Amino acid sequence: MKKLFLFLLSALLPIMASADAVEINGIYYNLVPKANQAEVTSHPNQYTGSVVIPETVTNEGVEYSVISIGDRAFFNCKGLTFINIPNSVTSIGASAFYSCSSLTTITIPNSVTSIGASAFSYCSSLTTITIPNSVTSIGASAFSHCTGLTSIIIPNSVTSIESGAFYGSSSLVSVTIPNCVTSIGNSAFKNCI
């Protein structure tokens, strides 16, 4: 019974976190008042068009630094065409941009250190991506099935490329991997024909 309760609680946590999301200028955030930090979270009706995330937001007179893009924040936002990520963001969560099929380019700022699992999976229109020297790990399936992606340069800061990172990115013709990479996971480049 205890295991069932813990399972149900863990399944409901993301829903409960989103329930307290605050909308500020069309973008939804989870706010952490004690740290004055904000995380971009999902939009109840999905984000579309161009989204410019600010470095800071103000809610009820309190300023918050936008430090992360949460898990599934832009999940399946097929109408999202452009995203601007500010230098305040340090992490991009799991499945953050999963299946954003209209997104063509993305520049990840130098402040980002981690790219979560499946963060950009199935972004089929994504042709270019700039990964900064601050990123140390590329999560599992992070860019899987990005069928429009033709080349990628892995920066010198990356030490591991997780399993399936570029799986099924069938247009990929050029990959530059630096000497500092010590591990490449299973199927990282599988079906990159």
pLDDT per position as a tens digit, 105-125: 888 999 999 999 999 999 999
- 26 contacts: CB under 8 Å, gap ≥ 6: 51
Concatenate the DSSP letters of all residues of 8-76 into one string.
Answer: HHHHHHHHHHHHT-EEETTEEEEEETTTTEEEEE--TT---EEEE--SEEEETTEEEEEEEE-TTTTTT
Q: Can you give the pLDDT at residue 32?
A: 94
**33 part of a folded domain:** no
Coil vs helix vs strand at 2: helix
**Does 12 map to a domain?**
no
**Distance between CA atoms of 41 and 24, rounded to whole angstroms?**
11
Q: How far apart, in whole angstroms, are the C-alpha atoms of residue 79 and residue 117?
A: 22
Answer whether residue 97 is part of any domain: yes
The answer to whether residue 149 is domain-embedded is: yes
For residues 51 and 25, the answer to whether their CB atoms sit within 8 Å is no
In a domain, 173, yes or no: yes
Domain that holds residue 151: 70-184
In the prediction, which pLDDT does 13 show? 40
Let me know if residue 93 belongs to a domain.
yes
Please tell me the predicted confidence (pLDDT) of residue 8: 39
Predicted pLDDT at 130: 85
Within a domain: 20: no
Q: State residue 193's pLDDT score.
A: 87
- DSSP conformational letter for 111: T
Domain at 170, CATH number: 3.80.10.10
| pLDDT for position 3 | 44
What pLDDT score was predicted for residue 2?
44
The number of domains in the chain is 1
Q: pLDDT value at position 113?
A: 94
User: In whole angstroms, what is the distance from residue 102 CA to residue 48 CA?
Assistant: 10
Residue 5 lies in a domain: no
Residue ranges of the chain with pLDDT lower than 70? Answer: 1-19
CB-based contacts of 149, cutoff 8 Å, min separation 6: 126, 127, 128, 129, 143, 166, 169, 171, 172
